[in-house]
Chain A
């Protein structure tokens, strides 16, 4: 039996439309829920004041600082490592057992549940290396968590750079390093940026790892050895322990809006890069 092509076309279209619609609806539902319950709490005072009474009153300033601090540090640690590994895997070595082991290791790392990674970070950084519950311990563990994302996306981005570019560079007497830094990496930058953005998103939303490694002190961290409570952890504690649902939603709203803003900023930056190199 054969379906009429017009009918099957319409069926498939409807089906795909529905699937896309459902996905969008879920997203919209979450955002609206958070916006309705959270936005009313978000005032300048909420953003700029210290928390009091375990977060029942006051603002969330310390958690904003801790979030920015830990995420930034984690990304600064993970990006050079991840991009460097990707460059090595794609440009400086041939496919063989060594690359397969590195890739397999990276995939395994990506599959480790964050709670177990948190425990690992706790044992290694907090206890063994004596860093304590701190911004540094948290950032190091987060860096390990996002490393596979950065390696994977950077590798794909570098592989997607047309081979012709490399051939052209070599035939013009450019060294491999010059080729990689002047042509290959700039062309792969949009893809690499995407990976880093994904990593920032993961770090911003992470709780399990940070509960174990950064602690939950509700003070503004100054040194990297201070403990800090990120927005996501703050939200978790406020909601889980029934301290203050309105403030929990307020925190969630700020978190979601910051992720949105970061994505918009990255998108704009990428458009500019593409214009320059496209």
Chain B
């Protein structure tokens, strides 16, 4: 096993309930820094739920309950006194649908950093430019930063959302099926961006697309009905899966 110092996020025996429905059952998992960790599984397997626990976005849903523990750099993030707003600044989330805010492209990127205390026109300009470049969107929008973000195409909006998350300079980036609604070219751009980003960030990628998981991730966990069936290096899981269910899933026999 990896040492504690090399673990970015440690999840231990995590169970999660929506009312009577149990979405996660005893999940134990360790995510390392500077890796792209994939979560795959059929619909309702709990992968999105797991992702939302990691920055406490699950708090927004009424009637949820969880047991177990999650630690970010050894800090208990399920503790009642955890600073959730601060946590979300460290752990960014990109959703499956693009969710641009009804503001200019510039404002979409600058708003959250400014509210988090980043001051000064120059500093904000720099953040906006750097994050747009990192998300491979700068060239397409640099001349129209003051235009509404709602006018961008779907693929551009999704890269904007990725850039917006980067602008917060988080430590961890969570992606919930970030390319599910995108064309192949936009998908390729996002994947290329992720591969570049992994040097500086810890990335957790949820995807329905097993090919994407195989292409983009270093390690992967296969979830089924709230249980982890298998965790391992992506290459190994996709070539010699240890569990028959994993084999069935990645070869498309169900899910």
Q: Interface of A with B (CB < 8 Å)?
A: 94, 164-175, 178, 182-183, 186-187, 277-278
Q: Note all chain B residues with C-beta closer than 8 A to A168.
A: 95, 99-101, 161, 164
Q: Note all chain B residues with C-beta closer than 8 A to A169.
A: 101, 112
Beyond A182-B115, A187-B102, whether A174 also contacts B148 by CB under 8 A is no
Q: Note all chain A residues with C-beta closer than 8 A to B100.
A: 168
- Contacts A173-B86, A173-B89 supplied; 20 other A-B pairs, CB < 8 Å: A164-B99, A171-B55, A171-B57, A171-B165, A172-B112, A172-B164, A172-B165, A172-B168, A173-B85, A173-B88, A173-B90, A173-B92, A173-B112, A173-B116, A174-B85, A182-B111, A187-B102, A277-B103, A278-B102, A278-B150
Q: Residue B148 contacts which of A164, A182, A278 (CB distance < 8 angstroms)? A: A278
- A198 CA to B85 CA in the complex, in Å? 38
In terms of DSSP, what is the predominant structure of the interface of chain A?
Answer: helix
Shortest Cβ-Cβ A-B pairs, 4 listed: A173-B89, A172-B112, A173-B88, A171-B93
Give the residue among A168, A169, A277 with the most B Cβ atoms within 10 A: A168
Q: Residue A164 contacts which of B86, B87, B90, B97 (CB distance < 8 angstroms)? A: B97
Interface residue ranges of B82-127 to A (CB < 8 Å) = 85-90, 92-95, 97, 99-103, 111-112, 115-116
Task: Contact check, B101 vs A183: say whether CB atoms are below 8 A apart.
Answer: yes
Task: Contact check, A173 vs B101: say whether CB atoms are below 8 A apart.
Answer: no
Task: Contact check, B112 vs A94: say whether CB atoms are below 8 A apart.
Answer: no
- A187 CA to B150 CA in the complex, in Å? 13
Task: Contact check, A172 vs B150: say whether CB atoms are below 8 A apart.
Answer: no
Q: Could you jot down 30 A-B contacts, CB within 8 Å?
A: A164-B95, A164-B99, A165-B101, A166-B60, A167-B99, A168-B164, A169-B101, A170-B88, A171-B95, A171-B165, A172-B89, A172-B92, A172-B111, A172-B165, A172-B168, A173-B86, A173-B88, A173-B89, A173-B92, A173-B116, A173-B168, A174-B85, A174-B111, A175-B85, A178-B115, A182-B111, A187-B102, A277-B103, A278-B148, A278-B150
Task: Contact check, B99 vs A170: say whether CB atoms are below 8 A apart.
Answer: no
- A175 CA to B93 CA in the complex, in Å? 15
A41 vs chain B, min Cβ distance (A): 47
The A-B contact count (CB < 8 A) is: 66
Give the residue among A168, A173, A278 with the most B Cβ atoms within 10 A: A173
Task: Contact check, B62 vs A165: say whether CB atoms are below 8 A apart.
Answer: no
A209 vs chain B, min Cβ distance (A): 38
Number of interface residues, chain B, beta carbon within 8 A: 30
Q: Interface of B with A (CB < 8 Å)?
A: 55, 57, 60, 62, 85-90, 92-95, 97, 99-103, 111-112, 115-116, 148, 150, 161, 164-165, 168
B60 vs chain A, min Cβ distance (A): 7
- A173 CA to B88 CA in the complex, in Å? 5
A170 vs chain B, min Cβ distance (A): 6
B56 vs chain A, min Cβ distance (A): 9
Give the residue among A165, A168, A172 with the most B Cβ atoms within 10 A: A172
Q: Note all chain B residues with C-beta closer than 8 A to A175.
A: 85
- A240 CA to B37 CA in the complex, in Å? 80
The residue in chain B whose Cβ has the minimal distance to the Cβ of A171 is B93
A275 vs chain B, min Cβ distance (A): 9
Q: Note all chain A residues with C-beta closer than 8 A to B111.
A: 172, 174, 182
Task: Contact check, B95 vs A167: say whether CB atoms are below 8 A apart.
Answer: yes
Beyond A167-B57, A172-B168, A182-B111, whether A277 also contacts B97 by CB under 8 A is no
